[in-house]
Amino acid sequence: MIIAIDGPAGAGKSTVAKIIAQRMGFIYIDTGAMYRALTLKALEQGIDVNQAERVVELAVGTRIELYNDASGNLTVLLDGKDVSAQIRQPRITRFVSDVAKIPGVREVMLGLQRALAKTGNVVLDGRDIGTVVFPGADKKFYIDAAFKERVRRRYNELKEAGEAVTLGNIEADLANRDTIDSTRECAPLKKADDAIYIDTTEMNIEEVAAKIKTWINL
């Protein structure tokens, strides 16, 4: 079974996808983590993320692996090295949408995501899972929340991780990513026609998980 969860940054997708995967014994595939890992490699190698050809070349020669442990934690390996924490840093977040808008990069990731999903029952979260990667997914969800609430959640998350951030930074970053992710030509963020729309602005994560679970069991 394939469960697709799409939506903008900060809507709560990854937290809920992780909970669903854990409760159902499914594998969780965080597709954003793949774009983040590639962004990290590009920055480490001093590659300008606007040089599409170089970034695609880099993507082709990069090994990205995702592992879930029993408690639902995700490990991301970039060419064999654990980069799980590094890929969440603000410097990666700043450039990841520019990397993710490159069609050749998306092609590489698409292949990787489809191959990973062959392993069995999976929950994938991202921007284009229900529209492009798995248009035939068994269940599709589009998780959304009001902009201000998404900013608040991201801010709390990063504060907890010990990052020096301000609400103003997060607001600018989210607005920028929303624009790039939803207006790019290749596989923009969009609700699939047959996805179930959930506005999580006034919901806590348990309520969202319960709602999704109900739809899955229908």
Residues lying near ligand DC in the complex (CB under 6 A) are found at 9, 31-32, 35-36, 96-97, 100, 126-129, 177, 181
Given the complex with ligand DC, which of 78 and 129 has the nearer CB atom? 129
Given the complex with ligand DC, which of 26 and 35 has the nearer CB atom? 35
Q: What is the nearest approach in angstroms of ligand DC to the Cβ of residue 217?
A: 25
Given the complex with ligand DC, which of 25 and 108 has the nearer CB atom? 108
Dist CA 211 CA 168 (whole Å) = 32
**Contacts from 168-177 at CB under 8 Å and sequence distance 24+?**
169/90, 173/90, 173/93, 173/94, 174/8, 174/9, 174/10, 174/147, 174/150, 175/147, 176/97, 177/8, 177/9, 177/93, 177/96, 177/97
Q: What is the nearest approach in angstroms of ligand DC to the Cβ of residue 86?
A: 13
Given the complex with ligand DC, which of 9 and 66 has the nearer CB atom? 9
Q: What is the nearest approach in angstroms of ligand DC to the Cβ of residue 32?
A: 2
Given the complex with ligand DC, which of 87 and 218 has the nearer CB atom? 87
Q: What is the nearest approach in angstroms of ligand DC to the Cβ of residue 113?
A: 8
- Residue 79, C-beta contacts closer than 8 angstroms, at least 6 positions apart: 41, 62, 63
Q: What is the nearest approach in angstroms of ligand DC to the Cβ of residue 100?
A: 3
